[in-house]
Amino acid sequence: MSDKIAVYPGSYDPLTNGHIDIIERGLKIFDRITVAALKNPSKTYLLSLDERLEIIRETFAQNNRIEVDYFEGLLVDYLNKRKITTVVRGLRAISDFDIEFQMALINRSIAPQIETIFFVPSVAYSFLSSKLVKEIYLLGGEIKQMVPDIVDKKLKQKFKQESLSISQI
């Protein structure tokens, strides 16, 4: 019998405790999860692809059930190439549902074998997004309870090296 494998795609700019919560929930159902960071040349990221992958790898270094990868282009092409048919997504609010529902239907229309499983996060993370974390950090707020330690360290390094404004996130 083969492993039940799912892909959890996202930009992870940066990885948050909400993402980790969804991954942990997914591991209750799936044998393995591939956390796949999106590389989209038309999108501006705060963290480079290498930095995002490094953060994810370090966060899950002790868990051999989690693979870290990246993809460009259509998610369904990546899934087909990897022979994976299940996508994991998190839903925080009604606005997430609208967007995620559309994406799930589009993916299924392109590749009918693709299924999307939605997870609702813990209440503690139901408000959390990468964009919000970046805004809070840039405005001088504390994010330690929202992100893994490596993200806090990486952002401190990044902001020390670069002069960034909220318009860049």
Name residues whose C-beta falls within 8 Å of residue 65's C-beta, 6 or more positions apart in sequence: 27, 31, 32, 33
| Distance of alpha carbon 84 from alpha carbon 145, whole angstroms | 33
Which strands form 32-38's sheet, in the order they lie side by side?
66-71, 32-38, 5-10, 86-90, 115-119
Distance, CA of 121 to CA of 86 (rounded, Å): 18
Q: Which residues are catalytic?
A: 19, 43, 92, 130
Residue 141 makes CB contacts below 8 A (sequence gap 6+) with none
DSSP lists the bridge partners of residue 33 as 6, 66
CA 135 to the chain's CA centroid? 17
